[in-house]
Structure 1
Amino acid sequence: MNSETVLKIEGMKVAYGGIKAVKGIDLEVRQGELVTLIGANGAGKTTTLKAITGTLPGGSVEGAIAYLGQPLKNAKSFQLVQKKLAMVPEGRGVFTRMTIHENLLMGAYTRDDKAGIDADIDKWYGVFPRLKERSAQLAGTLSGGEQQMLAMARALMCHPTLLLLDEPSMGLSPIMVEKIFDVIRTVSQQGITILLVEQNAKLALEAAHRGYVMDSGAIIMSGAAADMLHDPRVRAAYLGEEEAG
């Protein structure tokens, strides 16, 4: 695995008015890694992703955020896509009045290589066969799980160097959650660097190389995901298991 740092956050703080949502965190994602940020609802995970992507309404961000060695401060969302940084937001955000096929084309709007775009659509239809079956259907008629698949495939159409996933399992049935995580592992195995924010700590840590635990706006633990899966503190707090003793 290449050790080049794709994303580096140092001393990042986020405040809304007088409320400190994120309290000086450090976080790093290296090329080819799948890194997960876990924690309870309200821990500051989604705020962290929004600070990275510059989509925080009314929040003030301090500290350093670097992507491929360049500061990300004040970058616009469309510029991030041009820089091959893509995000699948919480709630999916598909274009409901467009077909599946049109949504995928929107994901490739920064590209002009028609043959390559067509090849990529075929590739992701292979990973997401449900989308291929429904390619002419309006995205708004899909189930939540199918919309999550579409949002991921659309983000992947820009050939991202870094893919940010915000709570991809939220609101999905257990069977669909397993399917989404199968896809996340498949995408990771293709060498795409991923930062995954997820409340399902067990599945996230099973899929990831490394993990960070966030609580009340602070990073309270980090390490190899396999080690964290077996850490009694993580098991008791996030995996619903009592510590032995």
Structure 2
Amino acid sequence: MTDALLKVEDLKVAYGGIHAVKGINLEVRQGELVALIGANGAGKSTTLKTLVGLVKPAGGSITFNGENTARLAPYHYVNRGLVLVPEGRGVFPRLTVEENLQMGAHTRNDKAGIANDMARVYDLFPRLKERRLQLAGTLSGGEQQMVAIGRAIMSRPRLLLLDEPSMGLAPIIVQKIFDIIRMIAAEGVTMLLVEQNAKLALETADRGYVMESGRITLADDAKVLLANEAIQQAYLGE
């Protein structure tokens, strides 16, 4: 078993008097795709935001690549390779597709590498190549999600955090997005995926965690969680 690239221990997050995350433990090892599933309001998105410094923890530790990162300012995370694709996509609407992708490489100065990665993103998302000069704000939701993932790839993430990539998208687009997620994982990019579509998340992931009311209540191989009757009834509609 390899050492964890990300290790979260007894993480607590509070908004005012509300305890959103109540002492969770989780880890992601190099090369894994790990799913974090649970109902709306369980604390999943709060956990991801805390991992990249957008929300400060009330307690516990976050270790990324051997370094305690719990108190770093948000801009330090990208330099360390910890990159979030946020819920709601967060594209720059008044910039073109290509300018959005270039923003993902703003911390880099290796022109040849950036050009190679841009070509790779366009290979993954041919639709974006067709629309590279179009303003991102005029794209469909699915195309904007492609931009958000492509922009993250441009930063060469060591760990890619995906927050609800299927939200608000038509089923056929969701399948395309998850096909791309699988391709990126197959290239060796480590991922932590928060996803409302629990079945699709667990079918895609190596391991999974179930979060309920700010706590991790189950953790196991994704196939084991998929076969769990309680999980099926609660999250898979079976």
TM-score (norm 1): 0.95
What letter corresponds to residue 235 of structure 1 in structure 2? Q
Q: Does the CA contact (< 8 Å) of 2:160 and 2:189 recur in 1?
A: yes
TM-score (norm 2): 0.98
Counterpart residue number, 1:148:
145
Counterpart residue number, 1:14:
13
Aligned residues: 238
What letter corresponds to residue 120 of structure 2 in structure 1? K
Distance 1:52 1:159, change over 3 A: same
Query: How far is 1:4 from its partner?
Result: 2.9
1:233 to 222, 230, 237: 230
1:142-195 Cα distance to aligned partner (Å, 9 max, x none): 000000010000001111000000000000000111111101101100000000
Distance of 1:178 and 1:228 partners within structure 2 = 21
Matched, 1:167 2:133: no
Query: How far is 1:60 from its partner?
Result: 4.6
Distance of 1:186 and 1:77 partners within structure 2 = 28
Matched, 1:200 2:193: no
Q: Does the CA contact (< 8 Å) of 1:8 and 1:27 recur in 2?
A: yes
Distance of 1:195 and 1:102 partners within structure 2 = 26
Counterpart residue number, 2:181:
184
What letter corresponds to residue 128 of structure 2 in structure 1? L
2:102 to 102, 105, 113: 105
What letter corresponds to residue 43 of structure 1 in structure 2? A
The unaligned stretches of length 5 or more in structure 1 are none
Q: Let me know the Cα RMSD of the aligned residues.
A: 1.0
Q: Does the CA contact (< 8 Å) of 1:16 and 1:60 recur in 2?
A: no
Q: Does the CA contact (< 8 Å) of 1:162 and 1:195 recur in 2?
A: yes
Q: Per the alignment, in what secondary structure is the counterpart of residue 87 of structure 1? A: strand
The unaligned stretches of length 5 or more in structure 2 are none
Counterpart mapping for 1:1-245 below 5 A = 3-56=2-55, 60-241=57-238
Query: How far is 1:61 from its partner?
Result: 2.4
